[in-house]
Structure formats: C-alpha cells, structure tokens
Chain A
Amino acid sequence: MKKFLSLLMIVTLLVASLAACSGGNNESGTTDGSAAGQEIVIYQNKVEIHDQLSAFAKLFEEETGIVVTVKTSGGDSPYAENLKAEFQSDRQPDIFVIEGMGGFNTWKEKLEPFSNEKWEELTSLEFIVDGKVYGFPVAVEAWGMAYNVDMLKQAGVDPSTLTSQEAYRAAFEKIDSMKDELGIDSVVAMAAGPDMRWVTGLHNFNGYLSAGLEYGDTTVLDKLNNGEADMDRLTQYADWVELLFEYADKAVLLTGNYNDQLGQFGTKKSAFLHQGNWTDPTFADMGVEFDMKFAPHASVAGEHNAIFIGAPSFYVMNNESKNLDAVKQFLNFMATQDAGHDYMVNKTNMVPAFTNVTLTPKAPLSANVAEWVSKENGAYTWLQNDMPDGFGMGTIAPIYESFAKGEIDKAAFIEQLKNKIEELK
C-alpha cells in the first residue's frame, strides 16, 4: 500500500511538472474570411483606462461581432519590457503602443503602415515616418505653466501677459513679494529630484527643442541627434531653467516626488505648476476644486503663445497580425463613431486628437488644452520622445539636479548639456 501511494505521488508530480510546459494556446486567431468571429488583441499601457477600454471593446463587439481582448501593463510593471515578452509568447498583440521615435526604431521591423484610413484626415497628430502613417494618436496631452486662476487674480498678475521670460520674471518677483499674503511656500511647484527626471530631462528640455519654432520644425532636434548644440538657444534656455529653480521650494525641488509636487500646487502652496493635463485625475482624487489654466513656457527668448501639445502614445499595428482588417475597423470606429467619442472624452477624460469630436472634457486642465488645440498656432511640437533612448531621463536629468542643488553654476550647466549633446555624434 505504501509503495503504491508513493508511486502515485511520483507520477502525479511528474505529470504536474510536464503539464506546465504544455502551452498550446487555442486562441491563435488565424481565421480568415468574414470579419465577424475574428479576434484581436490590443496591448496598451494606460492602466487608468483599462476598464473603460474594455467596456468600449464590448460595445464594438456588439456592433460588429469582432472580439477585442484588452491587455494592459504599466506603472510599476513597465510596459516596454512586458511588450518584448508579449512578442515572445505565441499570441502576439495585433495592436500595441509606441511612444515616439525611440519606440519606432525599436519596433520598426514589426510595424504595418496605415493607408488612407478615415481617421487620418481628422487629425494632424498621427505618427508619420518617411511619408507613411504608422501610428494612431491615443489622446492629446499637453503641458505648460499651469496656474491657479484665483491666486493670480489676487496677486494682480494678468495671465495673458505671461508670454516672455521678462514678463515671467516680473510676475514671479511680484508674487514672491506677496508670499505671506497669498499663503504660498514658493511661486512655482517645480521638481528636479531623482524621482522626477522626466519633468526636467524630457519635458523641460523639450522647450530647447521646439519652443518658438513652427509646429513640426525639427531643426534643433536633428542637430541634437547629429551631436550639435545650438549655443544661442541653449544659453537662453538656461535662463528659463534658472528662473524656475530660483522660485521653487527647495524641498520639493530636490527631493519631492510626483505627489509632493502636485500636492504643493493642490494645497495652494504655490501659484504655478510645471506639469500637464494628465494631472487632472490626481487633482480630482485630491478633491482640488479651484480653476486652473495653462500659460506658455518662455523657454527661450521672444514672445510665446503656444503650449506643448502632442500625442503621448500611438496605437500601431503588428505586421504579422492576421487580423489587420479587424484592427483598422476598430480604430476607425473609435475615431468616427459617437460611441468612440463618448469613450474618449466622457469615460476616460482624454482630450481627443480628432477634429470631428464635439464633446469637451470636464476637467479644468484638459478643457483648457482643448481650447489651446483649437487656437491658431497654439501648439509647439513634442520632440522629447524622439531623442535617443535614455538621453532625457538618464543622461541630462542629473545635470538639472546638480544645478538645482547649486553644485554647478549656470555656465557649467550649459557646458555639461553641450558636452552631453556632442557625445551623441
């Protein structure tokens, strides 16, 4: 009896260990023929909209019979690495997400271009390389100098005058002198610490790449990718960085994380915030109710009347997918149908990238972005994602931190940036 039991246990163990290797997915989606009954997998990186996207996918299934499976990873489970793992599995995603030239260069051998889709005429933010459209813009995001409308009014600063470095300096000095009256710790909620490298190295640095230039002008970016720095622009840009750091709260600047920075602005301890409209949900959670709008960054000399608007990520198609027609149908549905508009604006509070959408988001910063989008020449280009991998957050961000701490002065800051750019040759 004992021998029999031990034999049974061994057999169970062996079978169990082999069962794990049996793999063999049944949902390989290799149907051709009618679109109904097809199945597509979309692998995306916005954790906060997973539920809404799944609900929208259900709607789409009811309309067309195509099953859309939504897989998400992001935040602490980094999307880029998990995406590489997904491709090694035997059910590769049909739609996935890239965030700019970096993602494009990594994945270009697997991308299928779109051709003459309905949604292409409805947007100017699609991702184009060499004349071919590769990416469907997921949403519109923008950042600028967010400000507390009431507080500026109280301080007697007119936001429409904030268009140049001189105007900002005067306004900052004025607000700084009224710190006690307004109850603020510092004029600007700015962060440059190790947790916030994307704020300085990517977003703020993007001012050097595209502020003051026409939308789509990539001359400065091209020079950077060839290892050349535009010294005039860099010097003017350093003045802007110095101004922001001068009027920031030291603790938030050097060690603050995302919540600290937003918290300073949300609890009315600063008049300005260096962030974008993606902060709306966080402010809603914090119970912040005051009105806020964007003013332009005065990143270089001259007058500025635009904020940095772009699409943070794009849906791209896997060229080995067998369900490309279904994919195109899904994306057209999202861009052109009312259900799609409702999903994009009302359910997820994103600012849609398409001109045929009449709904506007309710959250204050996103609503303001919609205003800037419809303004003539109200947009500067997002070019920070087209720099080489790791350059913004890894290579130049620590330089901002040293500058913020006072370890290097402005001349050394410019010198260090110039050296790092020249290393890209």
Chain B
Amino acid sequence: MKQQKNNRLWFWLFLAPAFLSFIIVVIIPFFMGIYYSLTDWTAVAGIKPNFVGFENYKEMFSDMAFRYSFIRTFLFTFLSVLSINFMALLFAFLVTKDIKGKNFFRAGFFIPNLIGGLVLGYIWQFIFKSVVPQLGGLLGIPALEELLLLADPTLALIGLIVAFTWQYAGYIMMIYVAALLNVPQELLEAAEIDGANVWQKFRSITFPMIAQAFTITSFLTLVNSFKQYDIIIALTKGGPSTMFNDEIVNSTEMLAVHIYNVAFKYNDMAQGQARAIIFFLILSVISVGQVYFNKKREVEM
C-alpha cells in the first residue's frame, strides 16, 4: 500500500514541471483569450478593456473576407489531405518493396519535412516564378513560358498544395511504412496462392490492417492543413486577389493567415481573438469527429 502511494508521489513529481508549463502557457491564456474576445482589448499595456459581449462574434460572421477564408481553408484542407495521403501511401509502397537503395529513398522523401515552411515557400516561389517559365522556353511552349502561376487564384492554390504535399508527404510516408511492415506476410502469400490480384490483396488484407495508421495520418494531415501559416506567407502572402460576392478578397488567405491579419495588420486584437476561438471550436469538432469515426473502423489484430 505504501509502495503504491509512493509511486503516485513520484509520478506527480515527475509530471509537475511539464504539467505546470502546460497550464501556464496553454490553459491560462486560453481562458484569458475567451475573456478578451468578449471585450475591446487592444493589447496595449495599462489600458483596461471594456466588456462588449458578443459584438465581436456578430461582426465576424458578416465579414465577407472571413467567410471566404473559411471556404478556401476547407477546400485547401480537403485537397491537401487527399493529396498528401495518396502520395505518402504511394511512396510507402515503393519503399517497402525490395528495391535497391530503399533506405536512400526513405531518407530522401523525408528530408523536405525538415526544411522550415518559410524556406520551402521561397524555394517554390522561385520554382514557380523562374523555373517554370524557363522550362516553357526550353520546351517551346509559349503558354508555359508566360504563365504567372502566382497571379491566378486557382493555380496559386494548386501551387500551394503541391508545395505543402512536398513538405509533408515524407513524414506521413514514415507512418504508413511502419504500418505496412506490420502486415503479416503469410496472409499476403496465402492470398496470392489462392489467386488474388494486387488490387484484391490491397483492398481485403492490407487496407483493413493499416486502418489504424489512417486514423493517425488523417488526423495529422487534417489538423496541419487547417492550421497552415508559414508556407502560405512565404509562397503567396495571402495570395492573388479575386472577386467573391462583389468583394475583392485574397484567394489563398487561409484562416490562420486571416486571423493574424485581423489581429495585427488591422490592429483589431479582440476581433482576432474572437475568430481564433471559433477556429479552435471548429477544428476541435472536426478532428475529434474524425478520430471517433476512424477508430470505429479499425481492425485489431
């Protein structure tokens, strides 16, 4: 009995520093943020904020830029999740076959993830602005040569997805590799003997066994795509302008970028905080929902 009590003491003692930091840096500012979103806070020292109730929230939903940003973020997230998971799964299959230099490929695919988003954005900006036109010149395709990828809203979004996929696919690939290596080879061999082709083997054996990996990867890609900031700022800075409901909006201004602009560019801190709270709520609902549904489909071995 004393041993158990002792163990619990050690448990909490070890947890204390990290737990305290978490409360001070994450939990407390979160609740302060909820309070500030109901005031007209400007973050200047010494000025007391006044309580304004749900003003900020009402204003937010009538803001066309916020609505547009919302839609674009959902679109970007949806396409990114598909793109990253598809590429990652493809790469994972390639590197789990017995090919020469598979370790080299594993490292190679993973490295873009180590480059920070800002540098990545600049690299791809260079590729889209200089390399693509040059390529067009070499191949003699004038349309490609004159193409201003970052000036067209749709193409800029696609460019962003390409850059983001390049960054993230390697990391997700690692998770799939681990899951694929856990699929028992005997099952696959038995199925092959029974005459199953590649697609049937994948659908009936491999796919259900790596469902657990899908939970993790869809969660990671979903949450990360939703929160993207630095690669957007570096590549398109919010993006080419476009028309939406007769308003001119920024076509790649995702929610995180939008909230940052509202808070710091327009110096409307309380409004930015209110939008951030909504952002948090939506993201929580989506990610928890997603994990719940995926967990139900997992197959335990």
Contacts and interface: CB of A to CB of B under 8 A. Distances in A.
Interface in B228-249: 236-243, 248-249
A398 B239 CA distance: 10
Given A106-B44, A255-B129, A389 B267 contact: yes
A53 B75 CA distance: 48
Given A255-B148, A405-B151, A80 B264 contact: yes
A78 B148 contact: no
Contacts of A416: 248
Contacts of A250: 148
A126 interface: no
Contacts of B264: 78, 80-81
Nearest to B118: A76
Interface string B6-48: 0000000110110011000000000000000000001111110
A394 B237 contact: no
Contacts of B16: 14, 17
Contacts of A389: 265-268
B13 to A, nearest CB: 6
A84 interface: yes
B56 interface: no
B151 A407 contact: no
B261 interface: yes
Interface in B191-249: 236-243, 248-249
Contact of B236 (A78, A194, A390): A194
Contact of B249 (A102, A257, A393, A398): A398
A49 B45 CA distance: 27
Contacts, number: 93
B241 A402 contact: yes
Interface in B135-154: 148-151
B250 interface: yes
Given A14-B17, A78-B264, A254-B151, A398 B250 contact: yes
A402 B248 contact: yes
Given A10-B13, A195-B237, A390-B266, A402 B261 contact: no
A88 B149 CA distance: 43
B46 A194 contact: no
A158 interface: no
B261 A84 contact: no
B16 to A, nearest CB: 7
A109 B46 CA distance: 9
B285 to A, nearest CB: 29
Contacts of A290: none
A219 B20 CA distance: 56
A394 B240 contact: no
Nearest to B16: A14
Contacts of B150: 193-194, 254-255
Contact of B240 (A13, A102, A194): A194
Contacts of B125: 257
B20 A17 contact: yes
B250 A194 contact: yes
Interface in A291-349: none
Contact of B241 (A87, A88, A398): A398
B261 A405 contact: no
A390 B249 contact: no
A257 to B, nearest CB: 8
Given A109-B44, A389-B267, A402 B148 contact: no
Contact of B265 (A17, A193, A260, A390): A390
Contacts of B266: 389-390, 394
A390 B267 contact: yes
Contacts of B42: 106
A260 B243 CA distance: 26
A251 interface: yes
Contacts of B13: 10, 14
Nearest to B237: A194
Nearest to A390: B266
A398 B153 CA distance: 13
A87 B44 contact: yes
Interface string A364-400: 0000000000000000000000000110011000110
B23 to A, nearest CB: 13
Nearest to A395: B266
B241 A394 contact: no
Contacts of A88: 45
Contacts of B265: 389-390, 393-394
Contacts of A195: 237
Most buried by A among B129, B237, B248: B248
A227 B46 CA distance: 31
Interface in A386-424: 389-390, 393-394, 398-399, 401-402, 405, 407-408, 416
A102 B151 CA distance: 31
Interface string A252-264: 0011010010000
A257 B129 CA distance: 11
B44 A84 contact: yes
A254 B148 CA distance: 8
Nearest to B45: A87
A420 B21 CA distance: 45
Contact of A10 (B14, B46, B268): B14
A193 B252 CA distance: 13
A110 B44 contact: yes
A102 B267 contact: yes
Interface string A125-136: 000000000000
B62 to A, nearest CB: 12
B17 A401 contact: no
Contacts of B17: 13-14, 16-17
A167 B248 CA distance: 33
A13 B42 CA distance: 37
Interface of B: 13-14, 16-17, 20-21, 42-47, 125, 129, 148-151, 236-243, 248-250, 261, 264-268
8 contacts: A78-B264, A84-B44, A92-B45, A193-B240, A194-B238, A390-B268, A398-B241, A402-B243
Give the 3 A-B residue pairs with the shortest CB-CB distance, closest first. Answer: A390-B266, A398-B241, A87-B45
